Amino acid sequence: MNDLAGKRVLVWGIGRHGGGLAAARFCHEQGAVVRLLDRTPAAELGPDGAEAARWPCATGGAGHPWLIESNLIVASPAIPPRAWPDQHAPVTCPEGLFFAHHRGPRLAVTGTKGKSTTARIAGALLGWPVAGNSYEPLLDLYRRLGPDTPVVCELSSFQLWYLREQCPRFAAAILTTLGRDHLDWHPDIAHYEASKLALFTWVEATVTAPALVPRLPAGARALPPVVCTDGIFAAMDGGTLATRADLGLLGDHNADNAGLAIAAALHLGLDPALVKERLRTVRPLPHRLQTVHRAGGLSFIDDSIATTPESAMAGLAAVSGPLAVILGGSDKGATWEALAAAVLRRGASAVTMGTTGPAIAAAVRAAGGEPSEAEDIEVAVAYAGAWLRGAGTVLLSPACASFDRFRGFEHRGDCFAAAAKALFPVATPS
């Protein structure tokens, strides 16, 4: 990976977030002979396909001869372990190329949920760029800022599985949560957890919740998080670093995320006197408890990123007042009993949709609730708004992935916002 000049490099999977194209650009600039393989013809990929056409492109998968003929395969992390043929060239992922060439300090952030927001908070505190997973591809960051730039790296279980042999080093790492997820990609929960936890053998220090410390690999050095108690983020000496009001994000879980980020940033050299000022610069990411519309007494909050029951439960707890929650989507192997119980405890009305909608509705009924079942997101928004009768919050916090009916969680959130604005327009003065 350190000398790509003249090598035949196959980029397998262009990737929804541009990681494949970033790898193709990087390898080309390093002198490699680049080819691209994707299950979708380049002509159907819009602007990404137009750029991909700079190099030889083929449509196909595990049976394609390029997988054997190449000197190196740069695989999209979305390609699961079961997809690999018995014979193929050496493999890395786009992030592996980055770590082979990057020399600057690095903070890693992973977890079942909360990693994107925690990475954003850490980046704001440290003044470092954030890249990886749902952010800018790491290789594009490298091309912009060079090999010595410090970076906060958001890393998924998919990416970490592909990095398991390279074992890149990090000055510190954050583990936000560890739940049940992505069992459509990982063969079982043990594989998922092992992919995540391997990271903490590659780092100098780890910040996580005390309850997760026993889950860390043997020998991992765990630092205590900064805890928000009675609205105060307190330093180890008891002094005030910041207040909860300095963090403009909804939910107790985001106060926890901020505490992890503050502890990691202080370990990496942040002046404690800067915590308050920099925490105030943090803004919500799109589709993460983001208010997208208001009409009279109704608010519409897009939490489309909530693709597990645990993250949807955090969304329920973050919103006060009368609440109708829209649940359901594509299946990743989750169970619904705890979520159904949380809906009833919260006193919310549940509206279900998507492939998992019937199973979630059945769980809510078994818990004693009366869910509404909708055939699409527009109907779900209409049912939720009608139940609230003009006052309260419609929350899209689906607890599921989006690929049954949408291109991704971003597309689902955009469709939710569009439906809210169409069905509940703001009254104009007469």
Whether residues 150 and 245 share a domain: the answer is yes
What are 46's two structure tokens? Answer: 């819009």
Whether residues 236 and 343 share a domain: the answer is no
Mean per-residue pLDDT pooled into runs of 10, the chain (430 residues): 95 84 97 96 87 94 96 96 96 97 98 96 98 96 97 98 98 96 94 97 98 97 96 94 97 96 98 98 93 96 95 96 98 94 98 98 98 98 97 98 93 98 76
CA 57 to each of CA 6, 19, 21, 427: distance values in angstroms, whole numbers, following the listed order: 18, 16, 12, 52
Quote the pLDDT of residue 430.
40
- Choosing from 209, 244, 279, the residue where a domain stops is 279
Whether residues 263 and 320 share a domain: the answer is no
Whether residues 275 and 308 share a domain: the answer is no
What are 275's two structure tokens? Answer: 């915590």
Quote the pLDDT of residue 47.
86
Number of independent structural domains in the chain: 3
Strand spans (E) along 28-87: 33-38, 57-59, 72-75
- Cα of 11 vs its chain's centroid, Å: 23
- Choosing from 225, 252, 279, the residue where a domain stops is 279
CA 193 to each of CA 48, 91, 175, 428: distance values in angstroms, whole numbers, following the listed order: 33, 22, 12, 52
CA pair distance 343, 349, nearest whole angstrom: 7
Range of the domain at 221: 97-279
CA 174 to each of CA 152, 177, 218, 226: distance values in angstroms, whole numbers, following the listed order: 10, 9, 16, 12
- For residue 219, the number of C-alpha atoms closer than 13 Å in the C-beta half-sphere is 7
CATH of the domain at 49: 3.40.50.720
Whether residues 73 and 201 share a domain: the answer is no
Phi, psi angle pair for 229, to nearest 5°? -120, 125
Strand spans (E) along 296-369: 297-302, 323-327, 349-352
Which residues are CB-neighbours of 163 under 8 A, at least 6 positions away? 93, 95, 96, 99, 155
Residue 159 lies in a domain: yes
CA pair distance 28, 55, nearest whole angstrom: 9
Helix (H, G, I), strand (E, B) or coil at 290: strand
Which residues are CB-neighbours of 216 under 8 A, at least 6 positions away? 175, 197, 200, 206, 208, 222
Whether residues 307 and 255 share a domain: the answer is no
What are 222's two structure tokens? Answer: 């765990």
- Choosing from 61, 92, 123, the residue where a domain stops is 92
Residue 184: name the closest of 68, 274, 78, 255 by CA.
78
CA pair distance 78, 64, nearest whole angstrom: 18
Residue 147: name the closest of 96, 94, 101 by CA.
101
CA pair distance 416, 305, nearest whole angstrom: 12
CA pair distance 218, 189, nearest whole angstrom: 20
Helix (H, G, I), strand (E, B) or coil at 143: helix
